[in-house]
Amino acid sequence: MGLLAKRLEGLGTENAFKLGDDIQRCLDRGIDVIKFNLGAPDFRSAPHLNRVAIEHLEAGNSGYCDPAGILPLREAIAHHVETTRGIEMTADRIVVTPGAKPPISYTFQTYVDPGDEVVYPSPGFPIYESWVTFVGATPVPLQLSEDRGFAFSADDLAACLTERTKLIILCSPSNPTGGVLSRDDLAGIAGVIRERCSPDVRIYADEIYEHILFDGEKHHSIASEPGMAERTILASGHSKGFAMTGWRLGWAALPSPEEAAIFKQLNINIVSCVPPFLQEGGRAAYEDPATAATVADMVSQFEKRRDWVVPALNALEGVRCQMPKGAFYVFPNVSGVCERLGIVEAHSRLPGASRARATPAGMLQMFLLYRYGVATMDRASFGRIGSEGQHFLRLSIANSMDDIQRGVARLETAFDDAAGFEAFLAEEGLF
């Protein structure tokens, strides 16, 4: 019997948090780091929401509360789901969680047994793949292709399904690609699910970026398609659209009150409840009409940055960048840069174990951070399985326009610095 449980071998991570140690090392060396790695809006939570939470805290609303979430917030969320998705929803199917991450783990713990197959987008939010391997399920990464704007078709999904499929994860708008599934895409996907999957197969619809869409587009949900609400765990929250990442407020809308009771029980086992004064502030996000203007202003600023950064990246030799339709990330293909700087070749020269651990885009990521003070995320940080040979970086545009412009200028110099990359490899000994 060893110290650690065997299941830990399957546990992955979210590199956007892990990279913090490398960034700190650079800061300690006096490097000015531009943080394109973070998935957090560079906006504060709105004053009208802060005020509500503070008032409740000062009034003594600081004890335990309903583990499912306070009823008024669950009612507000149910109303939001009804009006935005056009489906019936009741408060007894809503569970409030500390952020939108716990519903991912609750879904795996509730529905997925070892050996079940889980289909999930790749590149995708890394916590999906982490939970697939942690619970001993079989990963079925649905590879999103750049030339289709990182969307996928009903046929692509159909090719991933077998009689062992238990869970299908969708994320739109997507982290890391900014891809968005259209109404037609969703109708096709729903058709395949109705035709091929038993009613026990669950869909996890991660819609945490539901408020952040560009070009006047509206958000569409798989839950709105016929026959899907009764199979879908719809998850979202306050972190991204309301710029409240540190509040830790998220929620899941479950197919039935019985399934919601299981999520509540998981809350009881793990976190007891989400602080009630924070939930009151979160309730105001849905109920106070002032929220809409705050969100619209933030989204329009993300859109302006996107409109500047995508052409600027495409102007760099060796870079190809799609125009994201939502969220606040760009996901350029940097294959040309990896070739030009000799990174693909340097990667192939690494000794076996290091080669398996590192990727060319990951080596480029570290070069940019340690030598140019630009923190990015590499492709493998968004699902490793089956990602070999794909060279992308994710840059968050949740940064001021000034930082984005300074960052792109640094990338332009770095992408020409083959000698600098060679020296970096020799000096740092990171790989």
Q: Site residues (CB under 6 A) for ligand PLP?
A: 39, 99-101, 125, 171, 175, 206, 208, 237, 239, 245, 250
Instruction: State the nearest-atom distance from the C-beta of 131 to ligand PLP, in Å.
Output: 12
How many Cα atoms occupy the beta-carbon half-sphere of 67 within 13 Å? 13
Can you read off the two tokens belonging to residue 296? 């619209």
Closest chain position to ligand PLP (CB) = 99
Identify which of residues 99 and 360 has a Cβ nearer to ligand PLP in the complex: 99
Among 377, 380, 341, 386, residue whose Cα is nearest residue 160: 386
Least gap, CB of 327 to ligand PLP (angstroms): 8
In angstroms, give the least distance from the CB of 248 to ligand PLP. 7
Q: List beta partners, residue 375.
A: 35
Q: In terms of CB distance, is 206 or 259 closer to ligand PLP?
A: 206
Q: Which is nearer to ligand PLP, 250 or 362 (CB)?
A: 250
To 5 degrees, how large is the angle CA 266–CA 94–CA 271? 30
Rounded to the nearest whole angstrom, what is the least distance from the CB of residue 298 to ligand PLP in the complex? 16
Do 78 and 229 contact (CB within 8 A), yes or no? Answer: no
111/125 with CB nearer ligand PLP: 125
Beta carbons of 295 and 90 less than 8 angstroms apart: no
Nearest approach, Cβ of residue 320 and ligand PLP (Å): 23
Q: Is 395 helix (H, G, I), strand (E, B) or coil?
A: strand
Coil vs helix vs strand at 120: strand
Q: How far is the CB of 32 from ligand PLP (least distance, A)?
A: 25
Main-chain dihedrals φ then ψ at residue 329, nearest 5 degrees: -130, 150
CB-wise, 250 or 373, nearer to ligand PLP? Answer: 250
* 150 vs 415, beta carbon nearer ligand PLP: 150
Q: Which residues contact 6 (CB under 8 A, 6 or more apart)?
A: none
Residue count of the chain? 431
